[in-house]
Structure 1
Amino acid sequence: MDDKEPIVLYRRCLSDVKFQIAQNDELEDEVNKNSHSSAKILELTVDNDVIHGIYEGGLKTWECSLDLVEYLSIKSKEINFSGKKILELGCGSALPGIYLLSTQHSICVDFQDYNEHVLKLVTMPNVLINTVLRPQSDDIYEIDIVEEINCLNQLKNSRFFKGDWNGLTNLLNLHSNQEKYDIILSSETIYNLNSIPKLYNVIKHALKYPNGVAYIAAKTIYFGVGGGILSFCQLIEQDHIFEVNVVYTKAAHVRREILKLSFL
């Protein structure tokens, strides 16, 4: 990548998210009505990266999402993204999908995350900052997201979906193969053994046949929760629908890889 321009993507800082929540005049009422409020989630994330069934880590930008941005950048001249329909599952800060949305022409990128608060406080602002409101320099840049939220109306090529992967295929409303996705992206989403089948089910039913591909960026193993590359690959191989290839690796304390899923 020495001969390539640096990848510049902007993302909202967690401190900024906390500041916005602190300014919310209705915060106290929200906490009383909704135990999964933004404030409650932020409180829980102080000592936890993930709280199953409440928060799935979307406020943090994970290492494998950066790996996936790097890979997509490397392959930008080999893979024809133009005109493609793309879905990022478990998007969080959504940098891989945003990279494609901000650098490619005539594409549609939809985003899904477990938490509505993550979509509103992180995903949508990040999409806006890198597309409609993109800064003209690399300096620190302040944008009033609350005032600029109407800019979402300009995002004609993106939709945002909240909630668990169970039932997501119904929500996506994919009645025909032509309505399905050419490319599915996902980063750091196969850490939980119980959720891996749900993620795989979405990929299997939402990916366009026969040329659709999915790129899954993940660590080889997630200590303490049981998921990882091996568990995911075993599930796919047993189903005999997709071929799996490792297309990217990065040596670290825990090895990181990107898997490419394509139809057999």
Structure 2
Amino acid sequence: MIESVFKSIMDDKEPIVLYRRCLSDVKFQIAQNDELENEVNENSHSSAKILELTVDNDVVHGIYEGGLKTWECSLDLVEYLSIKSKEINFNGKKILELGCGSALPGIYLLSTQHSICVDFQDYNEHVLKLVTIPNILINTVLRPQSGNISELDILEETNCLDQLKNSRFFKGDWNGLTDILNLYSNQEKYDVILSSETIYNLDSIPKLYNVIKNALKYPNGVAYIAAKTIYFGVGGGILSFCQLIEQDNIFEVNVVYTKTAHVRREILKLSFL
């Protein structure tokens, strides 16, 4: 089963609706594969173990980084991109979404722009397989008519996986990610980097920033980081991230979007000085 999570109505266009795979559907697939999961080495982090951890924890550092959940700031980033779609030309750009999870910002661009490449990274391989890739297919090849798409529908679409030819998928920690990306020249780097709800942990902020600094194309590359001003209990947030950027003196930082709910949420735009 799927559900709609975003709707944007542009003045001169049809409404843009984004869908995601329901977590209950993910749980059902994991239950179906329970026998296979039980055969996984007990020291590995199977999808069943990760799902069990999510009952009481949004994040378990070193094991699960919240990718099964669609966080508020990812929807903020989609909203911002939709608002700015007339001003910012993404056509022909190379884009990377870091800590993608349900990947709605990257999927929005992939489904509305032409001739672009969008790569996706998440800490957990299970998240990429069970959430990210199905969400891409749902919003591109398998646009729903009634809100329901079965597993059989995906299997019967012979060109379904061909849609992924404009994307690559990377799993694991941000340490060493730039080496895996094979960015041997500035021309191979990314025009745009997207990330949402990824600066909550003080320990991981330098690693994320290092990827942005080394993977963004100079001098016109830009990064959009959507996050809460502060993440209570873990110490990260906009303030900590901005302090690191200011100390490094490589990027100019501008707040391009704000929303105040229980906690203030912002989107930062990073561009080279």
Aligned-residue offset at 1:150: 7.4
- Cα distance 1:253–1:6, how it changes in 2: closer, same or farther (>3 A)? farther
Is the partner of 1:186 in helix, strand or coil?
strand
Q: Cα RMSD (Å) of the superposition? A: 2.0
Report percent identity of matched pairs.
92
Preserved contact between residue 31 and residue 40 of structure 1 (Cα < 8 Å): no
Q: Deviations over 1:42-85 (max 9, x none)?
A: 00000000000000000000000000000000000000101000
Q: Which runs of 5+ in 2 are unaligned?
A: 1-9
> Secondary structure of 2:255's partner?
strand
Do the aligned partners of 2:140 and 2:163 also contact (CA within 8 Å) in 1?
no
Quick one: distance in 1 between partners of 2:166 and 2:122? 17
- Equivalence for 2:72: 63
- In the TM superposition, 1:82-121 aligns within 5 A as 82-121=91-130
**How far 1:137 moved relative to its partner?**
4.7
| 1:133 equivalent in structure 2 | 142
Equivalent residue for 1:146, pick from 155, 172, 175: 155
Asked if the contact 2:193/2:222 (under 8 Å) is kept, the reply is yes
Residue 138 of structure 1: how far off its partner (Å): 4.9
Q: Tell me by how many angstroms 1:125 deviates.
A: 0.3
| Separation in structure 2 between the aligned mates of residue 70 and residue 15 of structure 1, nearest angstrom | 25
Post-superposition CA distance 1:188-228 (Å, at most 9, x none): 00000000000000000000000000000000000000000
- Counterpart Cα distance in 1 of 2:119 and 2:37: 32
* Alpha-carbon contact 2:37-2:48 (below 8 Å) kept: no
Q: Secondary structure at the match of 2:253?
A: strand
Per-residue deviation, 1:136: 3.4
Provide the residue aligned with 2:186 in structure 1.
177
Give SS of 2:224's match.
strand
Native 8 Å contact 1:178 1:208 kept in 2: yes
Shift of 1:135: 1.7
Give the secondary structure class of the aligned counterpart of 2:37. helix
Aligned counterparts of 1:95 and 1:26: Cα–Cα separation in 2: 31
Deviation at 1:132, TM superposition (A): 1.6
Assess, with a 3 A threshold, how the Cα gap between structure 1 residues 146 and 34 changes in structure 2: closer, same or farther: farther
Residues 25 and 238 of structure 1: CA distance in aligned 2, closer, same or farther (over 3 Å): closer
SS at match of 2:152: coil
* SS of alignment partner, residue 26 of structure 1: helix
- Residue 66 and residue 158 in structure 1: after superposition, are their counterparts in 2 closer, same or farther (change >3 A)? same
- Alignment CA distance shift 1:39-1:85 (3 Å): same
CA distance in 2, matches of 1:209, 1:22: 46
Q: 1:139 to 1:75 in 2, by over 3 A?
A: same
| Residue of 156, 171, 192 corresponding to 1:162 | 171
Q: Which moved more, 1:142-151 or 1:69-78?
A: 142-151
Cα distance per residue 1:123-161 (max 9 Å; x no partner): 000001111222235567776556769722332210100
1:63-121 Cα shifts (integer Å, max 9, x gaps): 00000000000000000101000000000000000000000001000000000000000
Q: 1:135 to 1:223 in 2, by over 3 A?
A: same
Q: CA shift at 1:25, angstroms?
A: 5.4
Task: Please give the secondary structure, in 1, of the residue aligned with 2:19.
Answer: coil
Contact 1:21–1:27 (CA under 8 A) maintained in structure 2: no
- CA drift of 1:173 comes to 0.1
Asked whether the equivalents of residues 31 and 39 of structure 1 are also in contact (C-alpha less than 8 Å), the reply is no
- Give the TM-score taking structure 2 as reference length: 0.91
**Counterparts of 2:35 and 2:193 in 1: how far apart (Å)?**
37
SS at match of 1:175: coil
In the alignment, is the contact (CA less than 8 A) between 1:97 and 1:109 conserved in 2?
A: yes
| 1:221 counterpart residue number | 230
Q: Secondary structure of 2:184's partner?
A: coil
- CA contact 1:135–1:141 (8 Å) conserved in 2: no
Change (3 A) 1:28 1:197: closer
Aligned mates of 2:230, 2:152 — CA distance in 1: 38
